[in-house]
Amino acid sequence: MATKLEIYKSYLNVLEGQRSALTIDIEVLTDNPTSIPEHTNFTQHFDELITKLTDINDKISTIKYLIKVINN
């Protein structure tokens, strides 16, 4: 059975992977927004990606805090 710390660290790895994927999506979209024809509403799509990234960053901060609490 996994320990609490192992669970938190595993979840942190998942979140960091999601953050990396979203960062790539944002970079591709902003490097050449006309290269992806289905994204006709650029601002709306960009806002959705930023909202997801903000949510993931908040979760990463929370998990890092919980890991710090366990280690103290």
Q: What is the pLDDT along the chain (72 residues), one digit of tens a residue?
A: 989 999 999 999 999 999 999 999 999 888 876 655 565 688 888 999 999 999 999 999 999 999 999 998
Distance CA 18, CA 21 (A): 5
Number of residues assigned to the chain: 72
Tokens 């953050």 -> residue: 19
Taking each helix axis from N to C terminus, what angle separates 4-31 and 42-71, rounded to the nearest 10 degrees? 160
For residue 24 the two structure tokens come to 């790539």
pTM over cut 0.75 = yes
